[in-house]
Amino acid sequence: MTKFEIWSLLLEAFIAVGLFSVVLIALFGDWIRNKLFPAQLDIEILDKNGELTVMDNGHKVIYYHIHVVNKKSVVVKNCMLYLKSIQKLEAGGNFVDIPVSVPPRYIWSPAETTPEVVDIINSHTADFGYIMDSSTVFKPTVTPILNSFRGNLEHHETFRYLIQIVAENYNPTHLFGIEVTWDGLWPENLEEMHKHLIIKRI
Whole-angstrom Cα distance, residue 81 to residue 77?
13
Residues 78 and 18 in one domain: no
Residues 47 and 26 in one domain: no
Residues 67 and 143 in one domain: yes
**pLDDT digits over 102-135, tens only?**
999 999 998 888 899 999 999 999 999 999 988 8
Residues 28 and 103 in one domain: no
Cis omega (within 30 of 0) on the bond before 38? no
Residues 8 and 52 in one domain: no
Q: Which domain holds residue 6?
A: 1-36
pLDDT band at 29 (very low <50, low <70, confident <90, very high): very low
Q: How far is CA 13 from CA 18, 28, 146, 149, 201, in A?
A: 8, 22, 62, 63, 55
Residues 51 and 22 in one domain: no
Please, what is the average pLDDT of the chain? 86
Residues 29 and 79 in one domain: no
- Number of C-beta neighbours around residue 101 at 10 A: 7
Residues 88 and 14 in one domain: no
pLDDT of the residue at 12: 59
Higher-scoring residue by pLDDT: 43, 23: 43
Residues 23 and 75 in one domain: no
Residues 19 and 103 in one domain: no
Give the residue-averaged pLDDT of 21-38.
51
**pLDDT digits over 83-99, tens only?**
999 999 998 889 999 98
Could you tell me the pTM of the whole model? 0.81
Residues 66 and 97 in one domain: yes
Asked whether the predicted pLDDT for residue 70 surpasses 80, the reply is yes
pLDDT band at 171 (very low <50, low <70, confident <90, very high): confident
DSSP state at residue 75: P
Q: How many domains is the chain partitioned into structurally?
A: 2
Residues 30 and 78 in one domain: no
Asked whether the predicted pLDDT for residue 17 surpasses 60, the reply is no
